[in-house]
Chain A
Amino acid sequence: MLDYVTGYLNSNVTPGQAGNWVWALIYILLIFLGISLAVMGMVWLERKILAHMQIRLGPMRVGPHGLLQPIADSLKLLLKEDIIPESADKIVFWLAPLMVVIAAFTVFIVIPFGPTHAVTDMNIGILFMLGVSSLGVLGIIMAGWASNSHYPLMGSLRSSAQMVSYEIAMGLAVVSAVLMTSFNAGGSGTLSMIGIVQAQAAQHTWFAFKFFPLGLVALFVFAVAMVAETNRAPFDLPEAESELVAGFHTEYSGFRWSLFFLAEYTAMLAVSSIAVTLWLGGWLRPFPSWHGPAITIPNFWEHAAPLGAVDFAFSLVPAVCLFVLAAFAFVGTLRMPKHPLMKIQKGGLGALALVLAGIGLVLLIPPVRDRIQDIFWFVAKVAVFMYLYIWYRGTFPRYRFDQLMKLGWKVMLPMGLGVLIATAVVGVLV
């Protein structure tokens, strides 16, 4: 058993390519679990960060600093009555949330969390991602129509118009990044997600900084389009609560509504991962080709390959991050009010600090450390984009619909087209 596990861990292909369906299943379960946990974390973080931006406290009651709030939220959603409107189209009403969730989760099949940490590597990876993530809009349209009510229909009409418009700008930005993969020394371009990151490693640069400023402009176009694609502020017109109650999911409640919620956050994670993979080097750490002087550390830190000082320093970052988090939790425990009612909360936060520190210690073990680095850097970059999502929501006022369309067709589309042409021209000339 253990031999089987280590035997796979030492191989250098994704389970999908190796045809190893046991490991593929394990990866799928791990990703599903990880995404669901990340969504729960995102919900808490979003409420907390938005609250702090508006000088409020945010959730404080359930658990220390509201840490258990997502669990309370999801319990509430599961226990709520599941209402299907009398005049709704039952089958389509039932199918719509499923469609949205499946489209959002299927995308993660090809996302590379590391050189081997993907369910599979497809030849058409990025094409597959764009295609499947565009299926989500079908679910939204179905939801709006099946509700047989005015606000949802308006919301889904807005959503489909918006997503179809911004998909074009998004696609053009993606094509310019794919074009950059072909400017290898004698190499050919690729659509595979792992291939794209490997091309960035081979060209010693993240594509965001290639042909400065072309890569950055393409990333900008994509970053704007992806906010519009996921129906988030400032482009959240499909669910603008001041105009449309809740947009396409007005008539949904309980578990079905939570599926829409889950799908929205999953789609946010998915498009952020596309942006990270295409422009920010995927699993590569910052300065991936800078190794520093070779060092040897005896005993516990022994390393098979010659180890650069910079490599070593970066490999310690995940553990250090967890130690810092643990320190925060520990300080929070010490600063808890000394009241008998706070005993449980205090104990909980203290236990959290211990767990975080324990995970940090595990991450220091050399084999674990080397395996976890890629995933850590990928997740860290995605987390930056997720924070940006919250930041946008706290900062920008909502666009009017004609402004949104004007921005999509008259600014983003020409910009994407210009970047694509400029990238091609520069690539031929250089």
Chain B
Amino acid sequence: MNPVATPFFFYLLSAMALISGVLVITRKNPVHSAIALIFTLLSLAGLYLMLYAPFVAGVQIILYAGGIMVLFLFVIMLVSVSRVERESQFNKQWLVGIAATAALGVLFILVYAKGKSVFPERTVQLPEQLNTQQVAVWLYGTYMLPFEVASLLLLVAIVGAVVMAKKRI
């Protein structure tokens, strides 16, 4: 089927992502920040869907919104909120902050100015049906070795966490 009301959904999802993203850093209560982050992640999943990447969208929902955010909330709930709220919210590192913002701004301006020549005019629309299969073919075929190396890294992280958490193994 042809997509319906694409600009509307794009602006809706982008606005949701931006507003809740701003809320993440401005809320004093860490739980509120985490909940705002959930909405950012969900609207990003929607944007992935609009880019014909359903697999990435599904994984985004399962891993980030469903898995990692649960652990985030799990940890935050154990923190005393009243103590956190009395601490100052923003770091006073003006110099680094201004430098980083300037760098990002320059990047944005460059992308806006030169974007048309760097990026293709229109993305090739892959048929939606093939997306997941393509991801599988590339991950387990073409890029088998890097993928396995990355998973080995995760395994090392898990073993390291167990070693650090347990005194006697």
Beyond the given pairs A92-B31, A141-B73, A145-B77, 12 more chain A to chain B contacts, judged by CB atoms under 8 angstroms and listed by A's residue number, are A123-B54, A123-B132, A127-B62, A130-B62, A131-B59, A134-B62, A134-B70, A137-B66, A138-B70, A141-B70, A142-B35, A167-B66
Q: Which residue of the partner chain B has the closest CB to A95?
A: B35
Residues 65-86 of B, flagged 1 when their CB comes within 8 A of A and 0 if not, give 1110111011001000000000
CA distance A153 to B80 in the complex (A): 13
Q: Which of B32, B61, B71, B74 contacts A128 (CB 8 A)?
A: B61
A344 → chain B, closest Cβ, in Å?
Answer: 50
Contacts of B67 in A (CB 8 A): 134, 164, 167
Q: Which of B1, B59, B131 contacts A123 (CB 8 A)?
A: B131
Contact at B62–A131, with CB atoms within 8 Å? yes
Which stretch (A13-21, A364-372, A382-390) binds chain B? Answer: A13-21
A216 within 8 A of partner (CB): no
Contacts of A95 in B (CB 8 A): 35
B164 within 8 A of partner (CB): no
Contacts of A188 in B (CB 8 A): 133
Contacts of B61 in A (CB 8 A): 128, 131-132, 134-135
B91 within 8 A of partner (CB): no
Binding site for A on B (CB under 8 A): 1-2, 4, 29, 31-32, 35, 38, 54-55, 57-59, 61-62, 65-67, 69-71, 73-74, 77, 128-129, 131-133
Contact at A124–B55, with CB atoms within 8 Å? yes
Chain A interface residue count, CB cutoff 8 Å, equals 35
Q: Which residue of the partner chain A has the closest CB to B55?
A: A124
- Given the contacts A123-B131, A128-B61, A138-B70, A92 and B1 also touching, CB distance less than 8 Å: no
Residues 126-153 of A, flagged 1 when their CB comes within 8 A of B and 0 if not, give 0110111011011001101100000001
A49 within 8 A of partner (CB): no
A122 within 8 A of partner (CB): yes
Contacts of A92 in B (CB 8 A): 31-32, 35
CA distance A64 to B129 in the complex (A): 52
Contact at A160–B70, with CB atoms within 8 Å? yes
Q: Which of A19, A91, A127, A141 contacts B74 (CB 8 A)?
A: A141
Contact at A131–B58, with CB atoms within 8 Å? yes
CA distance A58 to B146 in the complex (A): 61
20 examples of A-B residue contacts, CB within 8 angstroms: A21-B4, A92-B31, A123-B55, A123-B131, A124-B55, A124-B132, A127-B58, A131-B59, A131-B66, A135-B61, A135-B65, A138-B65, A138-B73, A142-B31, A142-B35, A160-B74, A161-B74, A163-B70, A164-B70, A167-B67
A88 within 8 A of partner (CB): no
CA distance A126 to B165 in the complex (A): 35
Which secondary structure dominates where chain A touches chain B? helix
Contact at A135–B129, with CB atoms within 8 Å? no
Contact at A164–B71, with CB atoms within 8 Å? yes
CA distance A131 to B54 in the complex (A): 12
A247 → chain B, closest Cβ, in Å?
Answer: 15
Contacts of A417 in B (CB 8 A): none
Contacts of A164 in B (CB 8 A): 67, 70-71
Contact at A153–B77, with CB atoms within 8 Å? yes
Q: Which residue of the partner chain A has the closest CB to B1?
A: A19
Contact at B59–A127, with CB atoms within 8 Å? yes
Q: Which residue of the partner chain A has the closest CB to B129?
A: A123
Contacts of B32 in A (CB 8 A): 91-92
